[in-house]
Structure 1
Amino acid sequence: MAVALLALSLSACAGLSRVERERATAIVLAARPAQVDCDQPNACAQPSPLRELAARALAESTPEAPRHYALILDHGPDALLARINLIRSATTAIDLQTYIYDEDDAGKLVLDELLAAARRGVRVRLLLDQLAALRRIETLAALSGAHANFEVRLYNPVLRRARITYPQYLLAAACCWRRLNQRMHTKLLLVDGAVGITGGRNYQDDYYDWDDEYNFRDRDLLVAGPIAQVMDEDFVRFWEDRRSVPVERLKDVGGQVLRSGVPALPPTQFERPQRAEAMRRDAGDFERVRERLASQALLVDGVRYIADSPDKHRGDGSGGAPASDSLRGLIESAQTEVLLQTPYLVLSDSAQDLFRQLRKRPQPPRVIVSTNSLAATDAFIAYALSYKYKRRYLREFGFDIYEYKPFPADAPIDIAATGAVLPDLGLPGLPEPDPELLRAQRPDRASVVSRTQYRSPLSREYAAMRYARRRSNEPVPLKRAGVRIGMHAKSMVIDERIGVVGTHNFDPRGDHYNTEGAVVIEDPAFARELAASIRRDIAPENSWVIARRDKPPVFSGLEYSLAKISEHLPLFDLWPVRYATSYEFVPGPDCPRPLYRNQPGFRACYRPVGDFPEVSIGPKRLITRIFTAFGAGLAPIL
């Protein structure tokens, strides 16, 4: 067995030889067609009101006073529409950098548009993180030779492969744990160095309201103007880094090319072709894009792009990581309020120290946190760690925590676009559900440790953990069926004067392992608009409030002390009663509007709904307790 394991290790770690890499590269270069479909100087670019924003901003800018237009993309279909419209408007270059790129309808649609841009004469560069790149080796091999204007690279490919199997993942974890966790979480789409999009969205159906089971409530920011050139320079640093490897030079992709040549890309087949065609049609409608998107853009001042570089993944990770430091500096500057939105409330030690110091001020700013509930999250283990430290977050840091509901009643989600047959969730504008279909639906009682309707977490945000345990990061079972919504936006507002939209989850992974980026805009009008978007998410119809549970009639001090001691233990945190629980707002004559948890009258206007509202009783409670008790050691990589 030892000999067999050694042989497996050696074969897994061995990549292509130098000669093989050169042969594979030569085959790919020879296979790439160079002809273009357009002979016009602008590469037959489609007129775009979004691209015109960049032209206006650049025309109005001076070196001393740059001008920018910013557009918050809250709705998933709008975010996809903006991407396709911008890709069609490109005249010279498109750079796309992302963490997840799936081969579903949204991914295929964008990929088709990128290839079409390359064929009309636009240089296209696609940079993907290895652990969440395209599923099929055949697709990567085909793309490697698709066109002379099109190139794909993978960032930090462990074991010199594009894809790794479960045994190979275990081997990589044993030999190269730190490198395995060093991921490129930066997300950018840049067109002609003039307009860019960054934020939480990857390239997968559930980021654009196109999944019929689970979709993310996410947020992107489109910014047009000189800062896009800074963003593009950051992309080039990644593209030219030695960790970014052309796919044909990797063992599995290059091996296929050496054996069989460059395969042809098969014709695109959509799961829901009518929806894809409608999106294509809308992306070509100048007036529709202007009305839905461009007309909503704000002229803003004080735009910065802060981003980690690949240097973050050299040495101990202390270099090349300005994103976390910059965000901490913004929080320290707060005077009255920090409005923070993150899907995974797991704080690093340095972040916890920051909020402790903030709390010690004579007049500390209010810290409002919008995050996921257990019922909404796609990262079960991350929530378990958040659950463990609720007392600390509420009592020591003074957080006002709002946990997103799985079926929010007023979310910027296009439920109709998912194509799912739904029960009545109380959402406006939807047709009445079919009674026969409702009777046929069963409660969603599948467990995270058994078969479930939700697809594998390989494509979710925590793709680096995807092999750790099958289905460990999937949504938990609920008491009722429906299209579930999970929070995925990463944003912050300081004193309604500074707004931040980016990729950082404000977590230990973002501090130490992932590369991150964010746009910071010091403009009160923009900050107010972003704050209004987040406040909508924490409204009673969309979120539960986390607050101290009612004290027991006897021994309340003893119970609190024992729970606090147990919380500080890295292992064996088995105390069954937590400091806080979830509350639902109950409006009435004496409760006309929502209250903060520490305001008079809170307990008269809110009713407790339990630690895990909407979650189906079953193995989840035991598993949550287990990770709460024994999972603290996982916090640095969550």
Structure 2
Amino acid sequence: MSLHRLAAAALVLLLSACATLSPQEADRAAAIAAAARPAVLDCDAADACAQPSPLRQLAGRAFAESTPEQPRHYALILDRGTDALLARVNLIRSATTAIDLQTYIFDEDDAGRLVLDELLAAARRGVRVRLLMDQLSALQNVATLAALAGAHENFRVRLYNPVLRRARISYPQYVVAAACCWRQLNQRMHTKLLLVDGAVGITGGRNYQDTYYDWDDEYNFRDRDLLVAGPVARVMAADFETFWTDPRSVPPARLVDVGHALLEGGVPVLPPHVFERPERAAAMRADAADAALVRARLAEAAIPVGGVRYISDTPEKHHGDHPLQLAVASDSLRGLIESADEQVLLQTPYLVLSDAAQDMFAQLHERPDAPRIIVSTNSLAATDAFIAYALSYKYKRRYLREFGFNIYEYKPFPADAPVDLAATGAFLPDYEPEPEPPPTRPPDRDSVLRSARYRQPLGSEYGATRYLRRRANEPVPLKRAGVRIGMHAKSLVIDDRIGVVGTHNFDPRGDRYNTESAVVIEDPEFAAALEASIRRDISPANSWVIAPRDKAPVLWGLEYSLAKASEYLPIFDLWPVRYATSYEYVPGPACPEPLPPDHPRFRECYRPVGDFPEVNPALKGLPTRLFTAFGAGLAPIL
């Protein structure tokens, strides 16, 4: 292509990215959407024909048992993806007056459309429904947003912080946005909340996409949500209202692409979704209507607790020049960690710590009676964020020696995960034993045939850099095929007394750019249940242990010093040997149970399996080490 053609193409791109919608046009587009909204209802009952729900009944019990001095709540940990989806559909159907849904990602796949259809059905039976999505990860099609803008009088949609005043931006437009509006591009709404009737809410790590509900046949997240019923829902409602009424939350009709679509063609009809696996969606709908099943599978496991705190950043974090001063969630979580006397159990998908967090953990480790810090996170084989792992890999020595972490990295094929592999729809062939040498761990009987497809970047909660291409923010190729599982849960347990489930990855993005939220419960029974869930994740069946390598027979001290000096370089961290590597538990008569990595007999019961176990050998070395060497500057946006 000639230089003139390149310049012309660049000019067309710039003009398309900078296209505008005048205030008058925005008003006309909004009027078109408003005029198209039907007001007819499918139900004339006072309760909007709400479906009785054992989960909704938990809220009634909580409010009845509460006093201003002694509030009562019911808390339910949602570990399994299918349970999390079942709870959402069941609660949406139980709504009598209002549903507020706030999320970072809302996809148009089977899980996303199933929930969207339920929200629309609720609006048509008389429930006020408000859907607030972050712009970068909202529904993919402009036509879908245009249809929803005029779907029903009871249904409203807004997009948070739209870059370039558009609902959707393409990769080229993203480049323009990065050049002109880098700070706004990174300021995302990572808060997640489903609130029904201002009485019961669900928050945690899950977005609205197949991968969060065990519905993807290649890659699913091991995630965690928390359902809370009781008075704290009023705090959640006030927080949602703050986001909804903020000027950064914009109706799609007032954005360039959706506005022009409405002006040119009116409100389109939202076509019915063609489900990839319609029988699975039908089964979920049927289960959500089965009160006995919902009670037995979910409601009966709810834990009665007393006071509950909901901590959340507000949009004010994005208004000022000093976001760290408005990072309510980050400050609250650090305060909880600093209060630890004996143990901190932390789970995060991306072990990239902000400077403030590093200072805090260093000070904790210097205490004479320093608490044990146990960290559950992703391995390179399991993660969906390749660059974030590379930065975690860079600082393993610091995490182990200077912070005293016990680190457990999640396996891509965990043997005992709370994941419904049958729900993925993947073909599960009979396992055939590998030829000699024999397998180094129990066979993965849930392996599937190799697939060349990879998830699109929309599925990655990876800030601005998720718009990079595949190798930056998608799972790396492995040695073998299978339904891969990646850690996405964000949780914290302090001293067997405080449990936290939220959206914060304990990373620089959460401190500086994202709005985050979390539920904090000070209750020994709840803390024990949450700890048991995390300890299952770090068991040998599901995680490798990170520990120091065996010392070199000669010049070990010199090697260590050179590696440490290289680590502190912001770039050109090229030292080839890292301080730590991955270990696998080897049970036996002398090793009847797993040991922590700082136990004197650790090496008798564990064997090293290399820096990046399970990763395809072609991808093991150069890319990760390159980002380790040159990627430290990306840490604030990871």
Contact 1:341-1:492 at 8 Å conserved across structures? yes
Q: Is the 8 A contact 2:386 2:473 kept in 1?
A: yes
Q: Is the CA contact 1:457–1:463 (under 8 Å) kept in the aligned structure 2?
A: no
Query: Is 1:365 equivalent to 2:371 in the alignment?
Result: yes
SS in 1 for 2:600: coil
Query: Is the CA contact (8 Å cut-off) linking 1:187 and 1:199 kept in structure 2?
Result: yes
Partners of 2:150 and 2:284 in 1: CA distance = 27
Structure-2 residue corresponding to 1:201: 206
1:581-634 Cα distance to aligned partner (Å, 9 max, x none)? 000000000000111111121001000000000111004421001000000000
Report the alpha carbon displacement of residue 457 of structure 1 after superposing the two structures with TM.
1.6
Counterpart contact for 1:424–1:432, Cα < 8 Å = no
Task: Please give the alpha-carbon distance, in whole angstroms, between the structure 2 residues aligned to 1:605 and 1:58.
Answer: 51
Deviation at 1:422, TM superposition (A): 2.5
Give 1:385 deviation, angstroms.
Answer: 0.2
Under a length normalisation based on structure 2, what TM-score does the superposition of the two structures give?
A: 0.95
* Secondary structure at 2:608 match in 1: strand
| Structure-1 residue corresponding to 2:331 | 325
Alignment check: 8 A CA contact 2:375 2:406 kept: yes
Return closer, same or farther for 1:230/1:424 CA change in 2, 3 Å cut-off: farther
- Identify which of 358, 373, 382 aligns with 1:376: 382
Q: 3-state DSSP class of the match of 1:318?
A: helix
Partner of 2:94 in structure 1? 89
Check if 1:415 corresponds to 2:421: yes
Q: Distance in 1 between matches of 2:242 and 2:517?
A: 13
Q: Deviations over 1:320-379 (max 9, x none)?
A: 321000000000000000000000000000000000000010010000000000000000
Q: Give the equivalent residue in structure 2 for 1:217.
A: 222
- 1:79-114 CA distances to partner (integer Å, 9 max, x unpaired)? 000000000000000000000000000001000100
Relative to the length of structure 1, the TM-score reads 0.95
Identity of aligned residues (%): 76
Once the two structures are TM-superposed, the CA of residue 319 in structure 1 deviates from its matched residue by 4.5
Gap regions ≥5 residues in structure 2: 433-442
Aligned-residue offset at 1:454: 1.3
Give the counterpart letter for 1:409 in structure 2.
Answer: A
Question: What amino acid is the match of 2:396?
Answer: K
Task: Pick the aligned partner of 1:355 from 340, 357, 361.
Answer: 361
Per the alignment, residue 615 of structure 1 pairs with 615
Change (3 A) 1:11 1:421: closer
Counterpart-to-counterpart distance in 2, 1:339 and 1:433: 30
Cα distance in 1 for residues equivalent to 2:50 and 2:59: 15
Partners in 2 of 1:400 and 1:548 — Cα distance? Answer: 11
Task: Find the aligned partners of 1:353 and 1:406 in 2 and give their Cα distance.
Answer: 31
Q: Which moved more, 1:454-463 or 1:218-227?
A: 454-463
Residues 156-176 of structure 1, C-alpha deviation per residue, up to 9 Å, x if partnerless?
000000111122111111111
The structure-2 alpha-carbon separation of the partners of 1:485 and 1:8, relative to structure 1 and needing over 3 Å to count, comes to closer
Shift of 1:461: 1.4
Please tell me whether the aligned partners of residues 338 and 364 of structure 2 are also in contact (alpha carbons under 8 angstroms).
Answer: yes
- Whole-angstrom CA distance in 2 between matches of 1:315 and 1:239: 19
Three-state SS of the structure 1 residue aligned to 2:609 is strand
* CA distance in 2: counterparts of 1:47 and 1:154, whole angstroms: 31
Distance 1:6 1:116 in 2: 44
Out of 394, 403, 419, the residue aligned to residue 397 of structure 1 is 403
Alignment RMSD:
1.7
Match of residue 262 from structure 1 = 267
Counterparts of residues 176-575 of structure 1 (less than 5 Å): 176-316=181-321, 317-423=323-429, 441-442=449-450, 452-462=452-462, 464-575=464-575
Rate the CA distance shift 1:425–1:464 in 2: closer, same or farther, 3 A.
Answer: farther
CA distance in 2, matches of 1:620, 1:232: 46
Q: Report the more deviating stretch, 469-478 or 488-497.
A: 469-478
1:159, 1:584 → 2: CA distance?
Answer: 49
SS of aligned partner of 2:129: strand
2:588 counterpart SS class: coil
Contact 1:38/1:121 (8 A) holds in 2: yes
Structure 2 counterpart SS, 1:154: strand
Is the CA contact (8 Å cut-off) linking 2:106 and 2:207 kept in structure 1?
A: yes
Moved over 6 A (4+): 1-4, 431-434
Secondary structure at 1:26's aligned position in 2?
Answer: helix
Secondary structure of 2:56's partner? helix
Q: CA deviation at 1:469?
A: 3.3
2:415·2:444 contact (CA, 8 Å) conserved in 1? no
Q: Deviations for 1:413-449, whole angstroms, at most 9, x for unmatched residues? A: 00011011135679xxxx9979xx97xx45x7xxxxx
Deviations 1:100-156 (A, max 9, x none): 000000001000100000000000000000111111111111011000000110000
